């Protein structure tokens, strides 16, 4: 999907990158099933490494930008519901993401015990489900709204600000 506003396009690109990370985690879990994955496998290490960085850093920056810059603008224009709904989703997703990132980082250093693997699978499964649904909502509702909401000057300011903090 292509958007006319740079801000919407940057967020869309972030969504695509996040989807790659959560798909890699999902595939890792599907391959390993009930037994902890082989941490010498490059795809396993790549999935866990990506999770430690993308979730904790990228997602936090992305969510903060949306909440501080975009949802407030929507609210000023009278559209309070979408921002409130997406903020609620952020509040549920971010702690899960941080937990997955921390557990992935620990696993990269010391592996998974059977119980740690079971907990990781459960938490990561919930994160994957919530993240896919959240991204879909933003792609179908929020980003198209930005194309209509932002003028060229505001779009450039926001895109520049986002790029500098990202």
User: Residue 158's pLDDT is what?
Assistant: 95
Mean pLDDT (10-residue bins), the chain, 166 residues:
90 95 97 95 96 84 94 89 95 95 97 97 97 96 91 95 86
Q: What's the confidence (pLDDT) of residue 164?
A: 85
Residue 27: predicted pLDDT: 97
pLDDT at 44: 97
* Confidence (pLDDT) at 2: 80
pTM, whole model, 2 decimals? 0.92
CB 139 within 8 A of CB 34: no
Contact 18, 58 (CB under 8 A): yes
pLDDT value at residue 54: 85
**Residue 165: predicted pLDDT:** 79
What token pair was written down for 43?
A: 């795809």
Note the pLDDT of residue 38. Answer: 95
Q: What is the structure's pLDDT at 1?
A: 72
| Both tokens assigned to 54 | 């993308």
> Do the Cβ atoms of 69 and 161 come closer than 8 Å?
yes
Q: Which domains does the chain have, with CATH numbers?
A: 6-165 (1.20.120.520)
Q: Per residue, what are the HEC states of 64-130?
A: HHHHHHHHHHHHHCCCCHHHHHHHHHHHHHHHHHHHHHHHHHHHHHHCCCHHHHHHHHHHHHHHHHH
Q: Tokens 């015990």 label which residue?
A: 113
């Amino acid at each position: 999907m292509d958007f006319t506003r740079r801000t919407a396009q940057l967020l869309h690109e972030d969504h695509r990158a996040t989807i790659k990370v959560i798909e890699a985690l999902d595939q890792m879990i599907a391959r390993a099933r009930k037994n902890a994955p082989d941490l010498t496998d490059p795809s396993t290490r790549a999935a866990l490494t990506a999770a430690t960085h993308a979730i904790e850093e990228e997602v936090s920056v992305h969510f903060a930008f949306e909440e501080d810059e975009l949802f407030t603008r929507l609210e000023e224009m009278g559209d309070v519901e979408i921002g409130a709904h997406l903020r609620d989703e952020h509040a549920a997703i971010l702690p899960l993401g941080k937990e997955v990132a921390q557990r992935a980082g620990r696993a990269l250093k010391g592996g998974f015990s059977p119980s740690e693997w079971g907990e990781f699978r459960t938490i990561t499964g919930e994160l994957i489900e919530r993240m896919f649904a959240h991204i879909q909502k933003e792609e179908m509702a929020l980003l198209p709204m930005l194309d209509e909401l932002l003028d060229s000057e505001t779009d450039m300011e926001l895109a520049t600000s986002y790029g500098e903090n990202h």
